[in-house]
Amino acid sequence: MCEHARMWIDTHCHLDAPEFDDDRGGVIARAHQQGVRALVVPAVWPAGFAATRQAAFMAGGAYALGTHPMWLDAAGDDAAEALARALVIAQEDVRCVAVGEIGLDFGVPNADRGRQVALLEAQLKLAREHGWPVLLHVRQSVDAVLAALRRIRVPGGVAHAFNGSAQQAQQLIDLGFKLGLGGAMTFERALHLRRLATHLPAEAIVLETDAPDIPPQWRYRTAAERQGGAQQRNEPAELPAIAQTLATLRGWSLAQTAVITTANARAALPRLAAFFSDD
């Protein structure tokens, strides 16, 4: 199997972000050229749901609907109600594969943890009602997210950009979740994350870019370099190179890595199977 014949799934890519407005078509073409045939585009707030759907459709990809905890204030008090209305419509759209990006972010200065938890729980209840998996944002909040998931059981999903402990990882796995690994894993100094990537159960790992964010080591620029105009935007086309880091850590071939992570993504997001194949 040649390099570009491999099937890669980017389980978390903000293709609708304004950073891609000038060349979204080129970004998609480069991803497809690298064998990244499936992109999952998560929304961050109701006002962006239409743009999220449009970006996913343009890429021939999938999308998720939800409100990100960092967009809580911008989304307003009716975010859960807006999601409820959108999910009724999305139920008939095969490209909508999850509820997300939802979760908790306790790393935000002066975070209103109570409001974040209330919104997460409301969105988890909607996911449970519709029988959909979720795409989780979990920053400095793994235990609180786990507590919410135990109160409100959903059909699994993906804990995006996971960087918690091995014990927390296992608790998420036990609740039916896969763990998303991406560009942060490529940094040699990310010792904890690289240990996780090495020792997690093979069936628990999915790949992501979080593009345009979390660039891999080779695209990273210092603050001074960015101020000087240096580009560090991440793209879904970087996924196979990110996967090479995982392959090296695990002692897998790149072909094995593609097969394993693609199967895991399909297991986490069953609706992907309706319109993606690895032929």
3-state secondary structure 210-225: CCCCCCCHHHCCCHHH
Report domain extents, the chain.
Answer: 3-272
* Band of pLDDT at residue 224, cut at 50, 70 and 90: confident
> Tell me, what amino acid is at 116?
Q
* CA-based nearest residue to 197, from 173, 169, 216: 169
Q: Is 137 annotated as a binding residue?
A: yes
Residue 274, pLDDT above cutoff 80: no
Q: Determine the pLDDT at residue 86.
A: 98
Residue 217, pLDDT above cutoff 80: yes
**Contact (CB, 8 A) for 27 and 237:** yes
Q: Is 101 annotated as a binding residue?
A: yes
Q: Is 12 annotated as a binding residue?
A: yes
Residue 3, pLDDT above cutoff 50: no
Question: Can you read off the two tokens belonging to residue 102?
Answer: 């939802």
CA distance 175 to 214: 26
Among 99-108, 218-227, 252-261, which is the least confidently predicted range?
218-227
List of residues 6+ apart from 49 with CB closer than 8 A: 43, 65, 82, 86
Return mean pLDDT, the chain: 94
Cα distances from 42 to residues 67, 102, 194, 229, in angstroms, run: 9, 9, 25, 28
Q: What DSSP element (H or E) covers 84?
A: helix 79-90
192-218 mean pLDDT: 97
Q: Determine the pLDDT at residue 228.
A: 75
Q: Determine the pLDDT at residue 276.
A: 66
* Band of pLDDT at residue 2, cut at 50, 70 and 90: very low
pLDDT tens-digit profile of 31-76? 999 999 899 999 999 999 999 999 999 999 999 999 999 999 999 9
Residue 16, pLDDT above cutoff 80: yes
pLDDT tens-digit profile of 263-273? 999 999 999 98
CA distance 52 to 163: 26
Residue 100's beta-bridge partner residues?
135
Q: Cα angle at 226 between 249 and 163, to 5 degrees? A: 35
CA end-to-end span of the chain, whole Å? 11
Q: Is 77 annotated as a binding residue?
A: no
CA distance 147 to 150: 5
CATH superfamily for domain 3-272: Metal-dependent hydrolases (3.20.20.140)
Q: Determine the pLDDT at residue 275.
A: 64
Cα distances from 169 to residues 78, 101, 164, 257, in angstroms, run: 32, 19, 7, 20
**Contact (CB, 8 A) for 255 and 35:** no
What is the CB-side half-sphere exposure of residue 269 using CA atoms within 13 A? 37
pLDDT tens-digit profile of 150-191? 999 999 999 999 999 999 999 999 999 999 999 999 999 999
